[in-house]
Structure 1
Amino acid sequence: MTLINIYRIANLSKVFKKLNVCQIQPYSSHTKFAEHKPLERIRNIGISAHIDSGKTTLTERILFYTGRIDAMHEVKGKDNVGAVMDSMELERQRGITIQSAATYTIWKDHNINIIDTPGHVDFTVEVERALRVLDGAVLVLCAVGGVQSQTLTVNRQMKRYNVPCLAFINKLDRLSANPHRVLKQMRSKLNHNAAFLHLPIGLEKDCQGILDLVQEKAMYFDGDYGEKVRLDEIPQDRRAEVQEKRHELIEQLSNVDEKLGELFLEEKTPTIDDLKQAIRRTTLKRVFTPVLLGTALKNKGVQPLLDAVLEYLPHPGEVENTAILNEKKHTEGQNILLDPSRNDKKPFVGLAFKLELSKFGQLTYLRCYQGMLKRGDNIFNARTGKKVKVSRLVRMHSNNMEEVNEVLAGDIFALFGVDCASGDTFINDGKLNLSLESIHVPDPVVSMSIKPKNNKDRDNFSKAVARFTKEDPTFHFRYDGDNKETIVSGMGELHLEIYAQRMEREYNCPVELGKPKVAFRETMMSPCSFDYLHKKQSGGAGQYARVIGIMEPLPPQQNTMLEFVDETIGTNVPKPFVPGVQRGFIDTCQKGYLSGHKISGVKFRLQDGAHHIVDSSELAFFLAAKGAVKDVFDNGSWQILEPIMFVEVTMPEEFHGTVIGQLNKRGGIITGTEGSEGWTTIYAEVPLNNMFGYAGELRSMTQGKGEFSMEYSRYSPCLPDVQEQLIRKYQEEMGILPDQKKKKN
């Protein structure tokens, strides 16, 4: 390579770093990490946990010990570098993971694909889509915090996708660290059949290493960065404890493993291999969870965790993955088992699980489940049928792309320039109609109004919204025509706040977030007749139209509709002018006179009228209908309707009473409850106007363990005090004094 080319590459890297986009690494420098290993030597794992349990720090240590990176850095970026997996500037500033990041490395001649996921509940979809494509997971728990709110959510997600896991109790060096309490919580709160594989040698500032119960050895981590693992004899004063805990481990395994159960009943001592095989069998069946210990920050316990990943978590060939085969002759799809063996004769099947849109196009993360994909091959989107040529194949190392020539079953990789949605299936045979199970996407729970601070930024605002809604299926955007404002919805206030900050940083578009308005409605309480004459003469042809009829309320189940009925007989109202009456009625209903909201749930019955042979026109009847509605407002009885939401709240049983009390305070009506395995679900109907801020309140009430979803149920009359407030607010906005406007109740 010439000096000029080296100079160009160096400058390009600086530009990419400044733009915070994927950087391209020369293929040759990472050849050993891009090697294709046999199926048995591949592990696809995710690192998942509650926020601030040490996932990213643990991933940083794993990459260092496997030789993937040359130096370790702090998560919060105090040294102005930050962790490798937190590539976004916002992540480094806040010290949290916002987007899941993928990497791959080699440990003991095994290729490990790792996805580091966020811990905050607002970014739960990142965990969902990572667990959908992974074969195993490491559940990280804090030795002080133990089982926390997001731990419960992650545990449910692992159960949904049937992902085997190891537990790693981190932060043994923290004050008040107590791994024994965390194990009890795993058994009681997560219902895991769990047991220690390690015991700590000292806690807090005295943490020196770990005791391995399987090998019955003490492990110390020497060197400046704990890179040298030293095995030693178990200290004399800890031998009785090790024997007791090892016996407990064997007992827990014997309850769920037949082979070890037979040895236990025969009172035979299992060998190290017997134990390891029993742990592997039971972990793969998700009937046992091995618990390992360490402190990632102090560089202790990471290498044994890597060994456990290889020994106890499955390789892609041990996980059953099915696809739905849709053939024309079948009414329903037929489930077929995919072949994970690295057989290039089988058709390629891959799942797009994550999208990232950069200035250079869409980057699509895929998992290959069957067959082989080479650079230059053609693939088809099973949903749309579109054909795409694969011009570039890359493996991801955080925000760095590393070129590869081919990928095989079990690999996680990325493509550039493929237009698709998250959850799409790709195949290389256009005639084969295969589709994989998609990703579970939770419904958004928080909505806020959003607008750019400067009108000149509207183009950038549109680009940002288009990008973020495509990347994140839990981030929704819509325009509310009732209130003339744009609404964004997401998983929490932090979720929306992060996107608002990203719009400002990445698109130079500062935005304002605010509480959205509720779409109230106005309706009639009782029928009211009208007889309105519109007459105008100003020289030349005038305007003349008379409409007679009744306006009446529709039944409650139709209170969001408007109905127009022409009951006229004869030619008093000529038929060509009837559409003008209908348009006048519908146009007037767009803005009510009580609070400025839409009128709905009203039926307009046109029964009679009069016309003039010269002065009548469609416009005259349009204006007559508008006047008739105005007269009915002045003479009739009106009320305001509000949207009622169907709310479903899930939380641990101990918070049942508190949550019901709070829903009652918000004007909710409890319609039912059900519970199972220590969890309770409450069903209620609550006015939407009373649901703002409920997400944060529910989390504080339930120690972050509660979740809720809501959907529109119906419109119902609002309370008199709410109606009075809305009328008063509207009058103030319009500059109308109370004695100038007749208020109806």
Structure 2
Amino acid sequence: MVTRSLLAVSRASFSLLRATSRPYSTATETKFEAKYDPAEGDRLRKLRNIGISAHIDSGKTTLTERILFYTGRIDEIHEVRGKDNVGAKMDSMELEREKGITIQSAATYAHWKGNAINIIDTPGHVDFTIEVERALRVLDSAILVLCAVGGVQSQTITVDRQMKRYNVPRICFVNKMDRAGANPWRIIDQLRTKLKLNACAVQIPIVAEAKLEGVVDIVNMKAYFHEGAKGETIVTKDIPADLVEAATARRQELIETIADVDEELGEMFLMEEEPTNEQLAAAIRRATISLKFCPVFMGSAYHNKGVQPMLDGVISYLPTPFEVPNHALDAKNNEEKVTLSSSSADPFVSLAFKLEESRFGQLTYLRIYQGTLRKGEWIVNTRTGKKVKVPRLVRMHSNEMEDVDSVGSGEICALFGIECASGDTFTDGNSALTMTSMFVPQPVISLSIEPKGKESTNFSRALNRFQREDPTFKVHVDAESKQTIISGMGELHLEIYVERMRREYNTECITGKPQVAYRETITSRANFNYTHKKQSGGSGQYGKVMGYIEPVEEELEDGKTVEFLNETVGMNIPHQFIPAIEKGFNEGCEKGALVGATVTNTRFVLEDGASHAVDSSELAFKLAGLNAFREAFLSAGPQILEPIMDVNVNAPVEYQGTVIGLLNKRKGTIHDSDVRDEYVEVNAEVPLNEMFGFSTDLRSISQGKGEFSMEYKRHAPVASFVQTQMIDEYKKALAAKNK
């Protein structure tokens, strides 16, 4: 038991901490006033929108399968890549069941103890990170799943960054507590040190003879045991005698952690008052919703332990739709930020966050922020101004659909027969509100692709569909080679789409060697003073531009990597020609002067220029902007950048030296290696160009026991000798084409 003197020390330390500590949250500290219609308050109070996210193989889909079973949405439990050839409910795609991974996020809904829960199960593989991105963009809260042995891994860090980007409150679920080497306290320490989360356990595990029997709820000080063939019966008992002291100490740690970020509980702590179970639970809820705390649950989804208490935690600690601030921009009022209510009676506003092709046409997933959507109603796409009718409205249960007549605010639904793009806002036409866009990462790898044999319309139809569905999948035709180039987030990403073309469109494809998505940038400022002049009889072309280009250090809005600034004064350049100059700059950025790669992190500042009353035109100023940029680019310390990947390798400890040697051979920078339970985990940064064929080499040196995951981290300059070599090769290739 914690003694009174120890508590006094804790309280003294705490009062000092309250003056200096800051919560991890980057969210605004201004108080958000929840707005909703009291008439439907009960429905909204009993509604949760959650996403389930984690590193690959942490057990997200298995956890979702158990949630669906315990909430009565499915009658039987099926495993990921199961032996019964059925597979998990949320992995509806044939490829997902074959490979045992989630490729597309899947939506469903369930009911738990009178509460409605909309759930989106997201992929864990980094190549499909856009699925996580758009799910978190529209969800109110999330469950971050962690392996009790693997802990915080590379993709966990990415998911955490995405949750923080959209200010998503979350609870953590430490899964696979039945595995040898499971250590939840080490995982909580990683959450604090690696993710900078103010995390603390709200449960402790009950382990008997190396088996997880249940969990102790340290908020209510009760023990939960699982009985029945599939753990469906929860038996509540007193805490086992050998765990009472540990549970009391952990509860005190929880109270101190919450008191640090919650004013109400902090005052009680300083006054040496013991909070009731209800007061502690209310404080956890307040701190979680305000992004100042992260409660940690424990269990084993595969062995049916700890899932139902975690579901109770979802209801108890995660926010309702009206407790999360959602904003739109008013196009009629200089894009002023407008806080949306959660009332179904207010004007309709929704966001199309995901598109899918189905046998009935395009399926558009919508998150409704306010208002009500009814079947047969007319809605307006804010981006296009187009008015469309809602022919069919459904709620999704993985790949199954359930028709509904209307959907209220705070809900997630889908509709058919509407042409739109991912990220479009729909309203009732009475407002010009538009939702802020989501972050879309740039592709890092490309392949040339062509149909095997005779080209059919299915080839272009498939590529068009995949581009519409997935913003990270890009297609373009190379102007010089006339080849079709597909770009994406990794080898697996592109491999999946090539395989889907074969299965879904009966189109066999031949792919070329993977090409790394190099970038070009500048390192210093360079001025330009360029005149485009051409006379060929009759009216000619004239446009003069003056200004400078400079490197961009800060992050730009909406994921942009280049910026055009017009700082001209007066009418030396007529205003109608300014967009043409910007167009010329953007065209120059599409193909850099060094190796023809996309230019990034560059700002073009137009300061002055000149025009001619007769000879000036949009074309003249576009060419002036293009050539001015190209000329200045070569004087601004141009550099080639290559994608650097964060690589995480797991292998038996006897192969530690060989694995590190393999990474060094591929120009990797080792950050740390951690040995646990006869396995070594090595984290390194490696250029993507060096990672081709890595899986084959890793398997051969580790007798098939090694595995790795990688994710894009950043673009970094290539070595100077490599840059010279690449420029020479590019010039030779151009010369050969021009012969």
TM-score (norm 2): 0.69
CA RMSD of aligned residues (A): 4.3
1:452-531 matched pairs, under 5 angstroms:
452-456=451-455, 458-515=456-513
2:51 alignment counterpart: 46
Query: Structure 2 CA distance, aligned partners of 1:480 and 1:518?
Result: 15
Give the C-alpha shift of residue 253 in structure 1.
0.8
1:161-180 matched pairs, under 5 angstroms:
161-180=166-185
1:692 alignment counterpart: 689
The equivalent position to 1:65 in structure 2, one of 51, 66, 70, is: 70
1:327-366 matched pairs, under 5 angstroms:
327=332, 330=333, 332-343=334-345, 346-366=346-366
Query: Structure 1 CA distance, aligned partners of 2:292 and 2:710?
Result: 24
The equivalent position to 1:268 in structure 2, one of 251, 273, 278, is: 273
Query: Structure 1 CA distance, aligned partners of 2:171 and 2:259?
Result: 18
Give the C-alpha shift of residue 38 in structure 1.
1.0
Give the C-alpha shift of residue 697 in structure 1.
7.3
Query: Structure 2 CA distance, aligned partners of 1:695 and 1:702?
Result: 15
Deviations 1:552-593 (A, max 9, x none): xxxxx99xx9x99899xxxxxxx99xxxxxxxxxxxxxxxxx
User: What secondary structure is seen at the aligned counterpart in 2 of 1:208?
Assistant: strand
* Residues 712, 266 of structure 1: alpha-carbon distance in 2 compared, 3 angstrom cutoff: closer
| Partner AA of 1:422 in structure 2 | S
Give the C-alpha shift of residue 358 in structure 1.
2.0
Give the C-alpha shift of residue 240 in structure 1.
0.9
| Partner AA of 1:174 in structure 2 | R
Deviations 1:588-638 (A, max 9, x none): xxxxxxxxx99xxxxxxxxxxxxxxxxxxxxxxxxxxxxxxxxxxxxxxxx
* Residues 725, 267 of structure 1: alpha-carbon distance in 2 compared, 3 angstrom cutoff: closer
| Partner AA of 1:645 in structure 2 | I
Give the C-alpha shift of residue 730 in structure 1.
9.7
2:415 alignment counterpart: 415
1:78 alignment counterpart: 83
Identity of aligned residues (%): 53
Residues 407 and 413 in structure 1, CA contact (< 8 A), matched pair in contact too:
yes
| Partner AA of 2:463 in structure 1 | V
1:388 paired with 2:383, answer: no
Count of residues in correspondence between the two structures: 565
Give the C-alpha shift of residue 195 in structure 1.
0.8
* Residues 566, 127 of structure 1: alpha-carbon distance in 2 compared, 3 angstrom cutoff: same
1:553 alignment counterpart: none
Residues 147 and 176 in structure 2, CA contact (< 8 A), matched pair in contact too:
yes
2:427 alignment counterpart: 427
1:367 paired with 2:367, answer: yes
Deviations 1:70-127 (A, max 9, x none): 1100111321111110000000000000000000011011010000000000000000
Give the C-alpha shift of residue 693 in structure 1.
4.6
1:324 alignment counterpart: 329
The equivalent position to 1:95 in structure 2, one of 82, 92, 100, is: 100
1:444 paired with 2:431, answer: no
Give the C-alpha shift of residue 174 in structure 1.
1.3
> Which consecutive unaligned segments of at least 5 residues does structure 1 have?
1-34, 521-556, 568-574, 577-596, 599-642, 653-657, 669-679, 735-740
Deviations 1:442-471 (A, max 9, x none): 111111111112224x32111110110000
User: What secondary structure is seen at the aligned counterpart in 2 of 1:280?
Assistant: helix
* Residues 232, 421 of structure 1: alpha-carbon distance in 2 compared, 3 angstrom cutoff: same
Give the C-alpha shift of residue 63 in structure 1.
0.6
1:285 paired with 2:290, answer: yes
| Partner AA of 1:334 in structure 2 | E
* Residues 139, 566 of structure 1: alpha-carbon distance in 2 compared, 3 angstrom cutoff: same
The equivalent position to 2:122 in structure 1, one of 97, 117, 125, is: 117
Give the C-alpha shift of residue 439 in structure 1.
1.4
2:580 alignment counterpart: none
Give the C-alpha shift of residue 390 in structure 1.
0.9
Residues 651 and 702 in structure 1, CA contact (< 8 A), matched pair in contact too:
no
Query: Structure 1 CA distance, aligned partners of 2:59 and 2:127?
Result: 18
| Partner AA of 2:640 in structure 1 | M
Give the C-alpha shift of residue 703 in structure 1.
7.3
* Residues 55, 423 of structure 1: alpha-carbon distance in 2 compared, 3 angstrom cutoff: same
Deviations 1:315-364 (A, max 9, x none): 0011111111111xx4x211111110232xx1111100000012321000
User: What secondary structure is seen at the aligned counterpart in 2 of 1:707?
Assistant: strand
Structure with greater Cα Rg: 1
Residues 642 and 688 in structure 2, CA contact (< 8 A), matched pair in contact too:
no
User: What secondary structure is seen at the aligned counterpart in 2 of 1:466?
Assistant: helix
1:654-673 matched pairs, under 5 angstroms:
none
Residues 444 and 516 in structure 2, CA contact (< 8 A), matched pair in contact too:
no
Query: Structure 1 CA distance, aligned partners of 2:517 and 2:306?
Result: 56
> Which consecutive unaligned segments of at least 5 residues does structure 2 have?
1-39, 519-525, 539-594, 597-637, 648-658, 670-682, 699-705
Query: Structure 1 CA distance, aligned partners of 2:130 and 2:725?
Result: 41
* Residues 424, 179 of structure 1: alpha-carbon distance in 2 compared, 3 angstrom cutoff: same
Query: Structure 2 CA distance, aligned partners of 1:519 and 1:135?
Result: 34
Residues 127 and 711 in structure 2, CA contact (< 8 A), matched pair in contact too:
no
User: What secondary structure is seen at the aligned counterpart in 2 of 1:455?
Assistant: coil
Give the C-alpha shift of residue 437 in structure 1.
0.9
User: What secondary structure is seen at the aligned counterpart in 2 of 1:38?
Assistant: helix
Deviations 1:518-546 (A, max 9, x none): 999xxxxxxxxxxxxxxxxxxxxxxxxxx
Query: Structure 2 CA distance, aligned partners of 1:241 and 1:202?
Result: 13
Query: Structure 1 CA distance, aligned partners of 2:295 and 2:165?
Result: 20
The equivalent position to 2:163 in structure 1, one of 158, 161, 175, is: 158
| Partner AA of 2:394 in structure 1 | V
Give the C-alpha shift of residue 417 in structure 1.
0.5
* Residues 681, 662 of structure 1: alpha-carbon distance in 2 compared, 3 angstrom cutoff: closer
1:219 paired with 2:224, answer: yes
The equivalent position to 1:240 in structure 2, one of 245, 264, 267, is: 245
Residues 444 and 709 in structure 1, CA contact (< 8 A), matched pair in contact too:
no
Residues 483 and 519 in structure 1, CA contact (< 8 A), matched pair in contact too:
no
| Partner AA of 2:689 in structure 1 | F
Give the C-alpha shift of residue 707 in structure 1.
2.6
* Residues 357, 304 of structure 1: alpha-carbon distance in 2 compared, 3 angstrom cutoff: same
Query: Structure 2 CA distance, aligned partners of 1:721 and 1:361?
Result: 45
2:405 alignment counterpart: 405
Residues 350 and 369 in structure 2, CA contact (< 8 A), matched pair in contact too:
yes
User: What secondary structure is seen at the aligned counterpart in 1 of 2:689?
Assistant: coil
Give the C-alpha shift of residue 726 in structure 1.
8.7
Query: Structure 2 CA distance, aligned partners of 1:519 and 1:85?
Result: 33
Identify which range, 461-470 or 700-709, moves more after superposition.
700-709
1:185 alignment counterpart: 190
Query: Structure 2 CA distance, aligned partners of 1:517 and 1:136?
Result: 38
* Residues 371, 203 of structure 1: alpha-carbon distance in 2 compared, 3 angstrom cutoff: farther
Residues 39 and 341 in structure 1, CA contact (< 8 A), matched pair in contact too:
no
1:474-623 matched pairs, under 5 angstroms:
474-515=472-513
Query: Structure 2 CA distance, aligned partners of 1:497 and 1:37?
Result: 47
Residues 172 and 204 in structure 1, CA contact (< 8 A), matched pair in contact too:
no
User: What secondary structure is seen at the aligned counterpart in 2 of 1:184?
Assistant: helix
User: What secondary structure is seen at the aligned counterpart in 2 of 1:314?
Assistant: coil
Query: Structure 2 CA distance, aligned partners of 1:74 and 1:132?
Result: 29
User: What secondary structure is seen at the aligned counterpart in 1 of 2:297?
Assistant: strand
Give the C-alpha shift of residue 268 in structure 1.
1.8
User: What secondary structure is seen at the aligned counterpart in 1 of 2:252?
Assistant: helix
Give the C-alpha shift of residue 708 in structure 1.
3.7
Query: Structure 1 CA distance, aligned partners of 2:726 and 2:198?
Result: 54
1:571 alignment counterpart: none
* Residues 518, 198 of structure 1: alpha-carbon distance in 2 compared, 3 angstrom cutoff: closer
Give the C-alpha shift of residue 205 in structure 1.
4.7
2:623 alignment counterpart: none
User: What secondary structure is seen at the aligned counterpart in 2 of 1:47?
Assistant: strand
| Partner AA of 2:152 in structure 1 | V
Query: Structure 1 CA distance, aligned partners of 2:726 and 2:341?
Result: 65
User: What secondary structure is seen at the aligned counterpart in 2 of 1:150?
Assistant: helix
Query: Structure 1 CA distance, aligned partners of 2:415 and 2:435?
Result: 18
1:306 alignment counterpart: 311
